[in-house]
Amino acid sequence: MLNGAHSVGRFDVAGAGAVKSMRIALSANFVKPGRVGGVEQAFYNLALGLLDCGADVTIVAATPSRLPEAARSSLISQGAKIEYVGGLENRFLAEEYFAASCRGGFDATIFPNYYLPLATNSRLGKKIVIIHDLQHLHYPNNFSLKKKLWLRYNLARSLNGSDAVVCISDATHRDIQTHYTGLNSPLVTIHNAVDWSRFDVAPGDRAEGFDGPYILSVAHHFPHKNLETLISATAKLARNFPNLRLVLVGQASTKLGSGNYTGELKAIINELGVDDIVKFTGHIDDATLGSLYRSASVFCFPSLFEGFGLPPVEAMGLGTSTIVSDIAALREVTLGRAKYVSDPLSVDEWVEQIHAVLSGPRSLVGSTSIAETIREAYSRRAIAEKYLELIHALVVR
């Protein structure tokens, strides 16, 4: 064991002080701006965190379209190098081209979204793949047959051919161990980083059109997000809180290839007669989202399945009262500091929990101390240091 070491996954690794500056590549070929939600944001946060720690970071993308201008400018201003390779729009062909043609001589290359290239190249350094969840096994209807077969094949490859696999939560770590046996690649849990600075707005600013009390939820429109239960709970609460609104932020299902779940939600809204109190915003900019988080009466996340669950962590870090489904990943990433609904499908339990927040003091769930704890745990530097420790262990072993 190295001096001052502690255990991470199946490694004994040195503390952050022993980690030298490293050359690290991060593949951005999976990014479809505004389409991959928390995975895309976690990627930017990790890259910025590594730069904060003094690492030599190269962002690899096939074409400029993979990186939005704002993200690209932010990364470059912090010292990242941007390398465009291949010019291929297909994500997987771009990954293979990069892996085969890489001449950078990196200490490690991080593939942030499941895929380990087939091509081998020692110049990539240690190959680290991030796996977010096994949604395709738990909610197969969210995926085409082709996508499910691809995920099964590729995940098996990643779990056996990588130098390390990072799971974004212990919940995902356990899930992988349950469904896959005899793995060759070590599994390591490292949570996602969160960058609250992206939500900065002028003090007192409030998103236009949201002047009254409102419940906020942030989720892409997948069926397992269970938004219909929250809509039904809001309809009941509106009888006692006549000015209450529900604000739903997130991409519509038609833009995600997940059927017509958005249409189903609108049908429920129409049936309950709450068209005037439920607002869909679609994808919004960071400053507007930050304003919505801060001004919300309560943030609710009724999801039935998560690998991590970024929105409730963001809400808590901004001091917003937060209620989530009591599922393993959400209890883990909220550090046991949120309010929890034991049966996420129970409309009455959501009504009870939300009513307690709306009728009580604003600090009932959200607080400055909780926000500080969350911000410290998920700061981009703290998370990046764990990656650097992992890479150091891989390089020296």
The band of 4, judged by pLDDT with boundaries at 50, 70 and 90, is very low
Amino acid 329: pLDDT? 98
Give the count of alpha carbons within 13 A of 142, CB side only. Answer: 16
Which pLDDT score, from 0 to 100, does residue 201 have?
A: 64
pLDDT of residue 377: 96
User: pTM of the entire structure?
Assistant: 0.89
- Please name every residue paired with 61 in a beta bridge, in sequence order, or none if there are none: 84
pLDDT digits (tens, 9 = 90+) for 216-226: 999 988 899 99
Which value, in Å, is the radius of gyration of the alpha carbons in the chain?
21
| 12 pLDDT more than 50 | no
Q: What is the pLDDT of residues 313-324, one digit of tens each?
A: 999 999 999 999
At 295, the amino acid letter reads: S
One-letter amino acid of 165: V
pLDDT of residue 257: 54
Contact call for residues 14 and 389 (beta carbons, < 8 A) = yes
pLDDT range class, residue 282, cuts 50, 70, 90: confident
Q: What mean pLDDT comes out for the span 79-89?
A: 89
pLDDT higher than threshold 80 for residue 3: no
Please state the three-class secondary structure of the chain as a single string: CCCCCEEECCEEECCHHHCCCCEEEEECCCCCCCCCHHHHHHHHHHHHHHHHCCCEEEEEECCHHHCCHHHHHHHHHCCCEEEECCCCCCHHHHHHHHHHHCCCCCCEEEECCCCCCCCCCHHHCEEEEEECCCHHHHCHHHCCHHHHHHHHHHHHHHHHHCCEEEECCHHHHHHHHHHCCCCCCCEEECCCCECHHHHCCCCCCCCCCCCCCEEEEECCCCHHHCHHHHHHHHHHHCCCCCCCEEEEECCCHHHCCCCCHHHHHHHHHHHHCCCCCEEEEECCCHHHHHHHHHHCCEEEECCCCCCCCHHHHHHHHCCCCEEEECCHHHHHHCCCCCEEECCCCCHHHHHHHHHHHHHCCHHHCCCHHHHHHHHHHCEHHHHHHHHHHHHHHHHHC
Structure tokens at 66: 């993979």
pLDDT band of residue 91 (cuts 50, 70, 90) is confident
Q: Is the pLDDT of residue 206 over 50?
A: yes
Average pLDDT over residues 62-79: 88
| pLDDT tens per residue across span 224-248 | 999 999 999 999 999 999 899 999 9
Q: In this predicted model, what pLDDT tens digit does every residue of 105-118 receive, in sequence order?
A: 899 999 998 899 99
| pLDDT more than 90, % of the chain | 65
Share of the chain above pLDDT 70, in %: 88
Name all domains of the chain by residue range, CATH numbers in brackets. Answer: 6-193+379-396 (3.40.50.2000), 197-376 (3.40.50.2000)
Interior CA angle at 179 toward 174 and 180, to 5°?
95
| Cα 234 to Cα 244: distance, rounded to the nearest angstrom | 8
Work out the mean pLDDT of the chain and round it to a whole number.
Answer: 88
Tens digits of residue pLDDT in 359-373: 986 544 457 889 999
Tokens of 180: 């896959």
Q: Of the candidates 230, 207, 220, which has an alpha carbon nearest to the alpha carbon of residue 277? A: 230
Q: How confident is the model at residue 6 (pLDDT cuts 50, 70, 90)?
A: very low
